[in-house]
Amino acid sequence: MIKLIAKQDHKIYFGVMWLAIGFISAIDLYWAVKNQDLMLEMEENPIGRWLLLKDDGDVALFMGVKMAGTTLALGLLICLYHYKKLYAWLSIISLTVAQFLLLHYLGQ
């Protein structure tokens, strides 16, 4: 019985981290749109800056690519969970930590 509960808890933890990645990405998207007038001068990611320049300073292309990447990452995490649980756990823990660091950075 305890093993069954522990196994269920793992799924819940994975799900909570999966949702956290998505929600923090949504917060990042919100702040990027809200501050789009400053994005070109404030963006530190060279790929992000390049996408902003390609779209004449507009955030639409950058945010579209960013959300596509997030969606792809979340989908791959689900696939990994079904086929390579160890890789899925290592990946989701790393991504969750990175997202919370991003959230902390956005809050400054």
Q: What ranges do the domains of the chain cover?
A: 19-106
Confidence of residue 40 (pLDDT cuts 50, 70, 90): confident
Instruction: Provide the mean pLDDT of the chain.
Output: 90
Evaluated on CA atoms 77, 78, 79, 80, the torsion sign reads positive
The pLDDT score that the predictor gives to residue 67 is: 96
The pLDDT score that the predictor gives to residue 1 is: 43
Burial class for 82, CB neighbours closer than 10 Å (0-12, 13-18, 19+): exposed
Residues 46-88 have pLDDT tens digits of 999 999 999 998 999 999 999 999 999 999 999 999 999 999 9
Mean pLDDT of 29-54: 91
Write down the pTM of the prediction: 0.85
Confidence of residue 9 (pLDDT cuts 50, 70, 90): confident
In the chain, alpha helices (H): 2-34, 36-42, 46-54, 60-83, 85-106
The pLDDT score that the predictor gives to residue 84 is: 93
| Separation between Cα atoms, residue 62 and residue 55, nearest integer Å | 8
Neighbours of 2 (CB within 10 A): 6
